[in-house]
Structure 1
Amino acid sequence: MRILVIDTALGACTAAVFEDERPLAMRFEPMTKGHQERLGGLVRDVVAEAGMAFDALDQIGVTVGPGSFTGLRVGLAFAQGLGAALDRPVVGLSTLDALAESLPQDPAPTVALIDARRGQVYARSFDQGAPHGPAAALTLAEAAQEIVALDRRARLVGTGVGVLLEAFPDLAPTLADARAAPSPEALARLTRATDPVSSPPRPLYLRAPDATPPSRLPGQPRQIVP
């Protein structure tokens, strides 16, 4: 199976082509902004470097969040558009699952963490390689409590690792990997193992957006509250 994977949900822009487990071409550029300008070029480059045409792809995998509201929308729109044009299935991948999958295979408890700002993290726990519960937006204290309940020495991975350990240094995990984004290899493994029907490419939001709609239309007078 030849697959294209795309990730723009966090602090990098990733595009890679795999044939089964073998990487044919990969691009990984750290960035917090500018995914929209770079993604198309990266996808073009990896498909060309893989020595194939776009219609040789069998499946597309894309991260759906949690992550940056703007960033993940870029990847989703691109993957959905390409999938529709090629008539190929598109698989939605959890960013937290992909972060956990980026670590070396190990049955030890693992917690994937994404910095959600405002004293929160997006988190999901894994035990024996399987999810230990749903993804959730947690306060730092709630995340620390969950890790202690699972195993204080659990492996931690993701952009939320630094902020959590700064607040709770006594957690002392066996591994603290503060990587900015999932690895292309992890994205490929999840894409091969995931059913497109049960995991469609829809954004996964664990918290309402920070932006709020305007309270009045342009030109509309302000309401004076007595």
Structure 2
Amino acid sequence: MRVLVIDTALDVCAAGVFEETSSDVWSCLSSVVEPMARGHQERIGPLVRDVVSASGGFDSLDRIGVTVGPGSFTGLRVGLAFALGLGAALDRPVVGLSTLDGLAASVEPAGQVVAAIDARRGQVYLRGFLDGAPDGEPAPMDIEVARERLASLSGPVRVVGSGGSLIVPDGAALVDLQSADLEALARLTAAAEPAERPARPLYLRAPDATPPTRLPGQARVRPVEA
């Protein structure tokens, strides 16, 4: 199987084409990872064009995987829209990939792994894994609560992701990885059932932006004095 993976959910703009050359052995045909907090919409098209052109063209792809969050509201929607449009044009399935699952899959799966993303506002997005399998649902969590949760775990724990340095307790190992490894995302893409992993945003918290209270040009409503 040959898959294209796209990651714009965090502070990177990344794409890669990977092929399974034998049972569970993957080869990277072409990949690019560019750190960036903004500007994904301008960069993702040329980046995908380049990695796909360098690996045999769009017709050679069997499946597309794209990160769906949690992460940047704008960034993840850029990647999603591009992946869905490309999948429709090529008539290829598009698989949605959790950034937390991708981070956990990027490290050795044995034992306890906690994937944590800095969610700002004193919180992290968190999910635990045991021997490579999810141990609970992903959730936003206050930093102090997350620290207590990790401190209560018995046995060795590895923490991966941008939120790791905020919550890692004494005795836990911090893995220096801020975004998911693209090969790990390719493996998740190939293993997933597309119908069970739809490419739609995974929001664990409401957006910071709020809708306007009045339409453009509409007069402000003054409170009635008692």
TM-score (norm 1): 0.93
2:149 paired with 1:146: yes
Give the C-alpha shift of residue 49 in structure 1.
1.1
AA at the equivalent of 1:4: L
Runs of 4 or more, structure 1, over 4 Å off, are none
* Cα distance in 2, alignment partners of residues 132 and 221 from structure 1: 52
AA at the equivalent of 2:12: A
- Within the candidate set 21, 26, 37, 2:31 is matched to 26
Once the two structures are superposed, residues 23-61 of structure 1 have per-residue CA deviations (whole angstroms, 9 ceiling, x without a partner) of 1001001111111111111101111111x1212110000
AA at the equivalent of 1:66: P
What's the RMSD between the two structures over aligned residues? 1.2
AA at the equivalent of 1:33: R
SS at match of 1:191: helix
Partner of 1:191: 189
* Cα distance in 2, alignment partners of residues 183 and 127 from structure 1: 19
Partner of 2:120: 117
Trace 1:53-72 onto structure 2 (pairs within 5 A): 53-72=57-76
Give the C-alpha shift of residue 177 in structure 1.
2.1
- Within the candidate set 70, 79, 83, 1:79 is matched to 83
2:44 paired with 1:39: yes
Partner of 1:90: 94
* Cα distance in 2, alignment partners of residues 223 and 156 from structure 1: 50
* Cα distance in 1, alignment partners of residues 154 and 50 from structure 2: 43
Partner of 1:217: 215
AA at the equivalent of 1:111: V
Give the C-alpha shift of residue 175 in structure 1.
2.2
AA at the equivalent of 1:179: L
Unmatched runs of 5 consecutive residues or more in structure 1: 166-170
Partner of 1:168: none
Give the C-alpha shift of residue 141 in structure 1.
1.7
Partner of 2:54: 49
Aligned residues: 219
Unmatched runs of 5 consecutive residues or more in structure 2: 21-25
